[in-house]
Amino acid sequence: MIATMRKSATHAFVAVALVGLTASAPANAVTTASTAPVQSLADIVADLPEQTAPVFVPEIGEPQTRYEVIGEGVASYYGKELAGNRTASGERFNPSDLTAAHRSLPLGTKLRVTNKSTGDAVIVRVNDRGPFIKSRLIDLSFGAAREIGMVRTGTARVTVEILRTA
């Protein structure tokens, strides 16, 4: 008895859902699930507007972020001596924050910086301009430099990737 009621309720739900997929009828027309034409899935997909940019679809269990390499080079860091000074974004510099300075990327851009010798990576936010030494790619805060193990050496070969969200 309960199985029959569940089956009937399921059929009613499917019938109502199918009515919603039918072609539009005049406002004064009465349609039922048994007489209304049903669009196929291919017709529904064909009616969707085309995408102008490729869509990133993550696999099951994959994080909904991806990274695009924008450069490899030398990173340096600036430390506690600049604490409290204003950055290009207007905020006060905190050496322990995970921030970075880049010459041209928009302020607020999130980057993943990976130390090539250790494989350690950190995600930083661009909040300042620099570095002002031509051979350097990026300046990291002390906190970010500590995360990827470059405090002792002062500089490191790094890969910089820009964070793209899906």
Task: Encode pLDDT of 28-51 as tens digits.
Answer: 555 555 555 666 666 665 665 555
Alpha carbon distances (Å) from 141 to 33, 94, 110, 119, 124: 64, 8, 14, 18, 9
Token representation of residue 58: 């993550």
Return the pLDDT at 43: 67
Q: What is the mean pLDDT of the chain?
A: 77
Return the pLDDT at 81: 86
Lowest mean pLDDT among 4-8, 94-98, 138-142, 149-153: 4-8
Judging by beta carbons within 10 Å of its beta carbon (0-12, 13-18, 19+), is residue 102 exposed, middle or buried?
Answer: buried
Token representation of residue 95: 């050496």
Alpha carbon distances (Å) from 72 to 19, 157, 158: 56, 7, 6
pTM for the full model? 0.60
Burial 138-151 (b: 16+ CB within 10 A, else e): bbbbbbbbbbbebe
Return the pLDDT at 47: 63
Average pLDDT for 44-72: 64
